[in-house]
Amino acid sequence: MEHKIDRISELPDPILEHLLSFIPTKQTLQLSILSKRWQRVWALFPIPDFDQDLFVNNLRKVPPNEKEQEIQRKKEEFRNFVERSLLAHYRQRLNINKFMLHMMLDESDYAVVNRWIDYAIECNVKELNLDIFIRIHLKRYELPERVLVANSITELKLRSCKLKSFSGDINLSSLKKLDLSVEVEESQLVQTLIDSCRDIEEMTFECVNGLKSIRVSGLPKLKAIALLQNSNYESVEIEASNLESLVFNLDSLPCQINLGPCENLKKLVLYSCHITDKWLHDVLSKHQLLECLDLANCFMLKRIKISSHRMKSLTFINCRKLVEVDIVSPNLHRLKYEGKVISFSLNSSSLSEVILFFKGDTPDAEMIEFLSKLSQPKLLTWTLGEDETLKIAKRLRTTIPCPLYNVKELKLIVYSIPTREIHEVVDVLLWICPLLEILFIERRYQGTLDNISFKFSYGNPIYKVKNRSCCKRLSVLCWRHCLKTVKIANSKGSAEEETLKKYFFKNAKILESFHYL
């Protein structure tokens, strides 16, 4: 039998390392099992990325009575693999750019992980990411103190660790990005950490147990802060002259937020925050460079007025006491609104996209009035609730003008449309947006998802029309008098196809072409 020669394994180490850099981690792990040569090259690979799941998760073919034993064996295999790889770097004093550890820890692993961190720090690690998990009954893994004095670290991300009291001086002089989801023994430790990182650019604090207050000031390079799902905060003070992005998610619990001068703030996200109309008005008046504002679950807001030439994106989600919004933003490009229909006013000449999800029972006339205030965007995405249907009485359509005659593309997300009613939904949508070019309907039902799409083109309208009741309140003729071609993709079957075909040929006066793709 002719033996095949493995010429790839004969290549020099630098070339093999270069090849590995283009291969996903899971495949490189598989290669490392092939031979001792590949094991050695992988061990010296400059960016180790250690994920226990890659070893443990693929056990579908293991008999149930052997699964626990096989899991333990795979975990030991993973530990040995990490140890060999890091030890090889440590012994040769090779720099490590990134050390990411994703692992479920037993208490017996704590000392092992400490040793791995020591290896990484001795190798001047730049990015340290400990994405670890602890069983509920075990005490938290305590982060080694030497991590807080590792001046080679530029990015630090910690999950499920405990930061115990630290008596020395924190020295993370190179730190640019900090991301914590930990438990702290003392709130002051985090404050000291913040104050000591003079070159910090991004900070994220998510579910930091024990952190009651935070104060940020005097950090000239800070660009972004995110405080996420923290229910223990009593006060937050932020003053950063070059801050561009600020995200709050405070779990709807009272917290005093003092936002000082942040002259360059461009993005402000407020989720579940106890803020008043006056607080928001004062913040907006002091930050004239804001381009993006998101408000969600802010239940104290009632009446909002926004006037800004810089604002490009606005989001309002479930601010349930909100009754009035007045927007004067000529450069606004994107608007998202979820909630009940309210008194709404919008002045914008640049709006290109609107995303809507009305909640609660809404009279047709009020909904149409809301739609008419949307400054005629080019793209509209509209979601209906599970029990909602889209029906607007024909009597009402003859008494008020259609609200969105300039919308060219509409996406409707709906939970169910019976085949016999699809043409009725299309009829309503073409009344709301009478010169659509693209209509996309996404239908969700009992965990399934399907869609149907329409593409329309128009010819010269017929102006000599005796009965123009369908568009008598428009300055232009509607689709019925100028629709030339219809193309439909992904229909649900012959019954739906026949229903739509009859509908369009009956109502489009100059229709020339009708096709299913």
Residue by residue, pLDDT tens for the chain (517 residues) are 455 555 666 667 667 666 665 666 556 655 555 556 666 666 556 555 788 888 877 766 777 777 778 888 888 888 998 898 888 888 888 888 899 999 999 888 999 999 999 999 999 999 999 999 888 788 889 999 999 999 999 999 999 899 988 878 899 999 999 999 999 988 889 999 999 999 999 999 998 988 888 999 989 999 999 999 877 788 899 999 999 999 999 875 678 889 988 999 999 999 999 999 999 999 999 999 999 999 999 999 999 999 999 999 999 999 999 999 999 999 999 999 999 999 999 999 899 999 999 987 777 888 899 999 998 899 999 998 876 777 777 777 778 888 898 899 999 998 877 766 888 899 999 999 999 999 999 988 777 888 999 999 998 765 555 556 667 666 677 888 889 999 999 888 888 899 999 999 999 988 999 999 8
Query: Cα separations (Å) of 403 from 102, 268, 392?
Result: 52, 31, 12
Residue type, 312: K
Q: Residue 509 has what pLDDT?
A: 86
H runs (alpha helix) in 350-457: 364-372, 394-397, 422-432
**Contact present, 254 and 233 (Cβ < 8 Å):** no
* 233: number of Cβ within 10 Å: 22
Q: Tell me how far apart the alpha carbons of residues 4 and 262 are, in angstroms, rounded to a whole number.
A: 66
| Cβ contact 406:480 at 8 Å | no
The amino acid at 488:
I
Cross-strand pairs, 320: none
Q: Give the integer Cα–Cα distance in Å for 352 and 409.
A: 10
At residue 1, the pLDDT reads: 47
Place of tokens 């190798």: 123
Tell me what pLDDT residue 400 has.
Answer: 82
Instruction: Specify the 3-state DSSP secondary structure of 32.
Output: helix
Residues 6+ apart with CB under 8 A from 351: 332, 333, 334, 335, 374, 375, 376, 377
Q: How confident is the model at residue 13, as a pLDDT?
A: 62
